[in-house]
Chains A and B, each alone.
Chain A
Amino acid sequence: EAGVAQSPRYKIIEKRQSVAFWCNPISGHATLYWYQQILGQGPKLLIQFQNNGVVDDSQLPKDRFSAERLKGVDSTLKIQPAKLEDSAVYLCASSFETSGNFEQFFGPGTRLTVL
């Protein structure tokens, strides 16, 4: 079974530039998550999709971050414009179901450095 795929693995940009990350979840997983993991901290949920609908985006800084999951499969996360404090690893995860003991399968992440 193929895992969660993310690209790019690394990205370096200057502040005020834009950047986009891509995620392909495990086939058949209806739920997709984007997390931000700042160095030395645990992952923080940015947004959760079930199919192509948003379940939770309460911690997404909507003035600069946006995400979409067209057709309920792949997802993109965009930052526009980036700030220095956005430097982090952005993790995508997917799960088969949203409730109960669901296991989230994580991708390798995209490490973003904002200069």
Chain B
Amino acid sequence: GEDVEQSLFLSVREGDSSVINCTYTDSSSTYLYWYKQEPGAGLQLLTYIFSNMDMKQDQRLTVLLNKKDKHLSLRIADTQTGDSAIYFCAEKGSSASKIIFGSGTRLSIRP
């Protein structure tokens, strides 16, 4: 079945780059997403990538997709304290509009 996996925690120093990794199993995924969830809030879509792309850049965010290995990563350049949150990787298959979420990676920033 469909599954999305992420590491649970990541700690980086303020100003460094953060790289959050994700693997998925559905080879027919059409879109892959990164969502951000701050404490007490709902999820906010950060960025997405279509499955025929291998990279997408949006300001401080860079998404890399390795479709062969079913690996997705999110790089946040110049990480700031406001980037502290849980980041969810998600994928959408071609057969339905249902989105499958990973368990989230908690990003903490140390001074």
B44 within 8 Å of A by Cβ? yes
What residues on A are CB-neighbors of B31 within 8 Å?
Answer: 101
Verify B98–A48 contact, CB threshold 8 A. yes
Binary B-proximity of A53-95 (CB < 8 A = 1, otherwise 0): 0011000000000000000000000000000000000010100
Binary A-proximity of B38-65 (CB < 8 A = 1, otherwise 0): 0011111100101000000000000000
Verify A98–B101 contact, CB threshold 8 A. no
By beta carbon, the residue of chain A nearest B43 is A106
Verify B98–A4 contact, CB threshold 8 A. no
Q: Which chain B residues in 81-111 approach chain A with CB under 8 Å? A: 88, 90, 96-99, 101-104
CB distance from B62 to the nearest CB of A (A): 19
CA–CA, A40 to B42, complex, Å? 14
B4 within 8 Å of A by Cβ? yes
Q: Which listed residue, A43, A48, A103, A108, touches B101 by the CB 8 Å rule?
A: A43
Verify A55–B4 contact, CB threshold 8 A. no
A/B interface sample: 25 pairs, CB < 8 A: A31-B97, A41-B103, A41-B104, A42-B4, A42-B88, A42-B102, A42-B103, A43-B88, A44-B101, A48-B97, A48-B98, A55-B97, A91-B42, A91-B43, A93-B42, A99-B97, A103-B48, A104-B43, A104-B45, A106-B42, A106-B43, A106-B44, A108-B41, A108-B42, A109-B42
Interface residues of B (CB under 8 A from A): 4, 31, 40-45, 48, 50, 88, 90, 96-99, 101-104
